[in-house]
């Protein structure tokens, strides 16, 4: 599909990370996300399959869930590439685990990892989302999982 506005897509993706997560302004969800949003990225430890959701509601729930675990969560946007109705964003995320991760108690440890997010823009709003996250590095840094004994790099 062609004819999208790459500048609009870039601005929406920036607002997604900077306003919703960094500034914790959840009202922005109603401004930038389509009601008929399709989430293709499963949540860590999520029980449900991704799919069609109400964009503003689902994103508010995700933001509340993440911010309860990582009150100091920050995303630094490292790169944005947009063409037609697609925008891709590489972010560097950091945070300190001060709330439970599902059934796992808070560890008090910090993480730093990268993720890539792709969005499709429709009618001036984010309408679809795909993500590739480095959850393994994050969980290792938090101490939620441990590398196997004798793993590469261990003495």
C-alpha distances in angstroms, 39 versus 55, 73, 102, 109, 131?
Answer: 8, 21, 20, 29, 9
The overall average pLDDT reported for the chain is 91
pLDDT of residue 49: 67
Confidence class of residue 1 from pLDDT cuts 50, 70 and 90? very low
21-69 confidence digits (pLDDT tens): 999 999 999 999 999 999 998 766 666 667 889 999 999 999 999 999 9
Looking at residue 101, the DSSP 8-state letter turns out to be: B
- Which is higher by pLDDT, 102 or 17? 17
Looking at residue 18, the DSSP 8-state letter turns out to be: I
88-104 confidence digits (pLDDT tens): 999 999 999 999 988 88
Rounded CA separation 88/131 (Å): 10
Domain definitions of the chain by residue range = 6-142
Query: Is the domain covering 6-142 a CATH 3.40.50.2300 domain?
Result: no
Q: Please give the model's pTM, rounded to 2 decimal places.
A: 0.88
Structure tokens at 54: 């109400």
């Amino acid at each position: 599909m062609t004819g999208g506005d790459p500048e609009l897509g870039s601005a929406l993706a920036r607002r997604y990370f900077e306003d919703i997560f960094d500034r914790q302004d959840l009202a922005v969800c109603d401004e930038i996300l389509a009601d008929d949003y399709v989430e293709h990225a499963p949540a860590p430890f999520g029980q449900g399959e991704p799919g069609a959701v109400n964009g503003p509601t689902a994103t508010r729930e995700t933001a509340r869930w993440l911010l309860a675990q990582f009150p100091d969560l920050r995303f630094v946007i490292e790169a944005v590439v947009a063409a037609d109705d697609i925008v891709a964003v590489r972010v560097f995320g950091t945070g300190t685990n001060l709330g439970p991760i599902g059934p796992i108690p808070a560890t008090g440890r910090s993480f730093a990892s990268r993720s890539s997010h792709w969005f499709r823009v429709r009618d001036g709003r984010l309408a679809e989302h795909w993500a590739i996250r480095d959850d393994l590095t994050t969980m290792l840094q938090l101490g939620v999982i441990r590398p196997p004994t004798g793993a590469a790099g261990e003495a």
